[in-house]
A = this chain, B = another copy of it.
Amino acid sequence: MAPTIRDIARVAGVSVATASKGLNGKGRMRPETRERIVQTARDLGFRPNRNARSLTSGRTYTVGLLTRNGYGRFTPALLGGVEDALSADTCSLLLCDARRDAVRERHYIDALTARRVDGLIVTGRETDPAPRVMRDLPFPVVYAYTVSADPADTSVTVDDEHGGRLAVRQLTRYGCRRIAHLTGPPSYAAVRDRVTGARAALADEGLDLPDSRVVYGPFSEEMGFTQVRRLLEREPEIDGIFCGNDQIARGAADGLAAMGRRVPEDVSLVGFDNWTLLAASTRPALASVDMNLYRLGRVVGETLLASIDGTVTPGISRLPCSIAVRASCPAPTGDDPVWTSDAPLVPDA
Contact = CB atoms under 8 A, between A and B. Distances in A.
The oligomer's copy count stands at 2
Interface in A102-119: 110-111, 113-116
Given A73-B349, A247-B281, A79 B95 contact: yes
B79 A115 contact: no
Contacts of A317: none
A81 B94 CA distance: 16
Interface in A58-106: 60, 62, 65, 70-73, 75-76, 79-80, 83, 90, 92-97
Contact of A50 (B92, B114, B220, B278): B114
B72 A114 contact: no
A54 interface: yes
Interface of A: 2, 47-52, 54-55, 60, 62, 65, 70-73, 75-76, 79-80, 83, 90, 92-97, 110-111, 113-116, 138, 220-222, 225, 247, 250-251, 254, 277-278, 281, 283, 347, 349
Given A71-B75, A83-B96, 7 more contacts: A51-B116, A75-B76, A75-B349, A80-B97, A93-B94, A222-B281, A225-B283
